[in-house]
Amino acid sequence: MREESGIALMAGILLVVAIGVIAAAAIAGVLSVTRASNATYLTSRAFYAAEGGAESALSQIEAALADGVLEDDELAAIGPPVMKGYTFVDFIIEREDSIVIETILDGPWAGMYSLTQNLTITSRVTDAAGTHGAVRLGAKAQAIPIYQFAEFSPEGTQSLAGDADTRGRFHSNGDMFLYSTGAGNRFHGMVTTAGRIHRDRMRTHVDPNAANVYIANAAGTMVKLRFDSDDTPDPEMFKTLSETDFDSRLQTAAFGVDSLKLPLPDGMPFRELVRPREGSDTDAEKETKLAWRADMHVTIDLGTIQDRAAVCGGSFPASIATELPTITVERPYGGAIPNASEKCDIFFWKWEAFYDTGDGHFIDVVDVNVGALRSWISLDTVSNATELIYIEIKNSATLTSAGVTDPSGDGYYWPALKFVNAAQLPGPLTIGSEYPFYVQGDYNIGTWHPAAIFGDRLTLLSNQWVDGSIMAPITKRSDAPEATGQVTLYAALITGEGEGHVGCFHEDPGCVPDTDDPAWIVKRLEDWKNCPTGPGGRCVCEFNGSFISAWAPMIADDHDVPPSYKYADVCALQRNFDTRFLD
C-alpha cells in the first residue's frame, strides 16, 4: 500500500479554501445588498428632504396669503428651510401672472368661486455624497370672496329666529346654535361649520326636540333637523345622517370643514376693521381699516358742543337742535367737501330721538340722509362722488354738556347712526361706523347698486317709523308703534349679533341667563303684526345681500335690560343671498 497520509492535509486545505470562497461570496453578497440598501436609503432621505422643502414653501405661501393676495416681494422672500447635511440646489416658486376666477369643484366650498393664483414649487436637494432628490408641486392659492355667503361668522353664532328663511350659504368658523319655537328657522342653502352644531340656545338650555329647524336637501325639500353634534358625537354616524336627510348639505368638523381665515394683519381682531383711525395703527392696519380707506371721513365731536349756526352756517332746518356737536368732513383722497348747510342736510344730528326698548336708554342719532347725499352728488358727479364713508363719533363717554336737553336724565350720550331716505342710492356705496346703526325703511330698492353697511349692530325700522314714537320704556308689546307694511333691503352687512359683551355662555358656571334679551340677528322695535297677507299676520322684513356676523356687539346692549322691557312682535325675516355678489 502506498503512503497516503498527505491526502488528509490536501482535503483539509481544499475544504478550508472552499469555505473561504463561500464566505467571501457571502460577504460580497452582503456588501452588495448593503450598498444597494444604503443607496435606496440615501435616495429616500434626499426625496423627503426635497418634499420637506416644498411643504415649507406651502406654509410660507399660506402665511403670505393672509391678506388675500400674493405680492411679488412676498414670493421672493420665501426661502428654503435649513436641513443639516443637505443643500438646496433649486428652490423656486413660480406663479401665473394673472389671478384666475374659477369655480371650486369639490369639498364644502364646491360651487363657490375663488380668486385663484396657480403656483409651481420646485425643490431639489443634494447631500455630501452627491445624492439628489427633487419634488415639483403644483398648488392653488385660493381666496374666497366673503360676500358669497348669505351669512358668515368668523366665530361661533346662533340663529334663534321664530320664523325665518335663509336663502344662501350659512357658515360659521365656530359652533353653531340653531333653534326656533315658532313656525320654523329654515335654511335653503348649504349649512357648514368648522365646529359643532347644536339644537339649542347659546346661553340657556332648551329641549332640542322642540327646535323647529329645517334644512333643504338637494331637491329643495325642507327636512327637519332631528340630530346634532350633542346627541350624535360619532363623526361617521353624523355624516351618515346628514347624507340621508340633507344629501350632505349640513356639514360640520365631522366632514373636515375647516375655518376660513380672514385677510387681516396678524393679531388684528375682526372688529378692528370698523374702529376709528389711530396713531398706533401699522401700515398693514391702515391698508385694512375702513376708516383709513374711506374717501369721505366724517367726525362728530361730542366733546365740542356749539351753537347750531357755528356748525351749520346761516341756513339750517328749523327742526335742528339749538346746540350741536362739531361736524367735520374730510376727503383724504381729494374731492369736494359739502358746505356747512349741505353738511347738516346730509348728517343731521338729533339729541335723544327715541327710546330703544332693547338697550334701555334714549338714542342720540345722526341721520345719514342718503337722499340729501344723492342730491349733493348730482350737483357735480365727479368732484362730489363718494363710495366709502366712515363716520367717527368722538368723546361719546363725555357727560351730557350743559344746555343740551336730556329728557332721560341719564346724563350720558348714546350715539348711533340712522340711515334715512335710502331707497335710492347715488351709486355704489359703503358706509358705516363702529357704533350701532338703524336702517329706517327700504334700502337700495330703486336702481340697484353694490352696497354695504357696517357697524356695531343693526336695528331695522319700518317705512312708517317716526322718531319720538317711543319715548319711554315699553312694558307690553301693544305699546310699541305699529309697522303696516313690508321693508326691503339690498346690501351687504358687516355687523355684530347677539347679546353683546355683557352676555355669557350657558356652559360658563357663573353665567346668569337673561331670557328677556334674546340674541336677535336683526333687532326690531316696532309691532309688525299688522299685515294680514304676511306669514302669521306679520309683516315681512326682506333682507337681500350677505350678512357678515363678525362679533358680539360692544356698544349696543351696553347694560342689562330690566325684565319689564319687551320687544315688539317682530317681522317675519327673510334673508336672501343676492346672487349679484357672485359677479
pLDDT digits (tens, 9 = 90+) for 334-368: 999 999 999 999 999 998 899 887 777 788 999 99
- Cell numbers for 578: 343676492
**Alpha carbons within 13 A on the beta-carbon side of 522:** 28
Question: Of all residues in the chain, what percent carry a pLDDT higher than 70?
Answer: 83
Query: Is residue 257 within 8 Å of 251, Cβ to Cβ?
Result: yes
Neighbours of 101 (CB within 10 A): 11
pLDDT digits (tens, 9 = 90+) for 80-106: 999 999 999 999 999 887 888 888 888
For residue 325, which of 338, 313, 307 has the smallest C-alpha distance? 307
Q: Residue type for 574, please?
A: Q
CA angle, 312 then 316 then 320, to 5°: 95
Q: Which of 247-256, 279-288, 357-366 has the lowest mean pLDDT?
A: 357-366
Sign of the torsion angle spanned by Cα atoms 243, 248, 252, 253: positive
pLDDT digits (tens, 9 = 90+) for 1-56: 355 555 555 555 555 566 666 666 666 666 565 666 677 888 889 999 999 999 99
The rounded distance, in Å, linking the Cα atoms of 193 and 174 is 6
Q: How confident is the model at residue 421 (pLDDT cuts 50, 70, 90)?
A: very high
CA angle, 240 then 241 then 247, to 5°: 85
